[in-house]
Amino acid sequence: MGTQKLRSRSSALVSVALAGAASVLLAACGSSSTPSGGQSTDDAPGGEELGSVRIAYTSSVDPGEVAMYAAALDYGSDFGLQEKSSDLQVFDSHGTAAQVVLSGGADVVAGSFLSDLQIIAGGEQLKVFCPATSGFDSRIVGVGDVDSIEQVADPSTRLAIEGPGGPVNFFTDLVLRARGVDINTTEMKNVSIIEDSPLRVAALANGDVDVALINAFQVPQLEEQVGKENVHILSNVMEDVGGGGIFLAFAAPEKYLDENLDQATAFCASVLKANRELTADFDRYKELSDKYIQPTVEEDLLKQTWDSVVDANLWPTDDTGLTQEGVEQVIDIAMETGLLQQKLSYDDIVDSRPIDGALELLGGGA
């Protein structure tokens, strides 16, 4: 069938022109420019005013990524940032978001760590400086007659994946390897490129694809649309492959980090603080989920995601996600599955100055 590209039609996103690429505002942030969870700027360390970080996200917010969206707006003022909702933008692909960052249209790209590796391998001066997540509560789902993971290798099975290097591809490959299925996403031909999870659910419901990786909280939505008897869980991803390493991360051009180290450090501190507070308090997690995800997700589904995040330590609260061991684990797997063609060194990838400084601001350990 070949590769198809399905474009987002989400009403929550408004297309605007930026740096020659299509970008969208994060509508869920609302119009308020005042963070709800932080101190005033006067109470920030040193009383510094550090301005705001322009962040390019590579997909819309979901329950497994609430902290990485809430970090700057709700915790940035604790560390001297003056973040506002217009500083956050959402794109339909990592490549588009990264291009906007590299061309100066934004400061930081928030998305797939593996995609960052591919960009760095391509010669761009990009560095990962803060971890976001090491996994998410997801399922590989088949519909209709597709009820086993082995059927993914059948050429007649239509699979939804992301563009090259997307985290969906990475975790799909990990599951296939863990379950002994001798194929990976780079070898498959009968695929559709669908970057955003809600659109993969829609493609399954519409009969456009047979298999896709989606968020666990979206499974009941799909069952409601096509009937529970027609939805088959082929893999609970975290049970099959576990967490560890880096899944999503924040990266920026080396020039930005050299010239704005204090700002990048404050931003990373806000990320780690958000991860700490939201994993420690379900009510706070629910409050911010309801703020950023519209329509809101049912509480029992939020609790399912939150439990998975906490149990598997999926939101880093220190430098664990950027250790040399964690980075090399992802590199090795990406090389084995064909998602990365060039071996990179740790120093090629990571600028540890912001996270080291962030831990100092936070007082060390989690």
Q: Final residue of a domain: which of 216, 241, 266? A: 241
> How far apart are alpha carbons 251 and 110 in whole angstroms?
7
Could you tell me if 129 and 158 lie in one domain? no
Name the pLDDT band for 40 (thresholds 50, 70, 90). very low
Could you tell me if 116 and 255 lie in one domain? yes
Could you tell me if 222 and 292 lie in one domain? no
pLDDT at 44: 44
Q: What is the mean pLDDT of the chain?
A: 84
Domains identified in the chain, total number: 2
Residue 21 within a domain: yes
Plot region of 115 (φ>0 → left; ψ -120 to 50 → alpha; else → beta) = alpha
Residue 4 within a domain: no
Distances (CA, A) of 105 to 16, 61, 72, 84: 12, 21, 18, 16
Could you tell me if 57 and 115 lie in one domain? yes
Residue 292: which CATH number? 3.40.190.10
Domain coverage including residue 280:
11-135+245-362
Give yes or no for a contact between 196 and 59, defined as CB atoms under 8 angstroms apart.
yes
Beta strands in 32-163 (DSSP E): 55-57, 88-90, 108-112, 126-133, 138-143, 159-161
Tokens 């932080």 locate to 38
Does 12 score more than 80 pLDDT?
Answer: no
Joined tokens for residue 165:
């290097």
pLDDT at 306: 93
pTM of the entire predicted model: 0.76
> How far apart are alpha carbons 60 and 307 in whole angstroms?
21
pLDDT tens, 55-66? 999 888 889 899
User: Of 16-25, 186-195, 249-258, 280-289, which gets the smallest average pLDDT?
Assistant: 16-25
Q: Final residue of a domain: which of 203, 226, 241? A: 241
First to last CA, the chain: 49
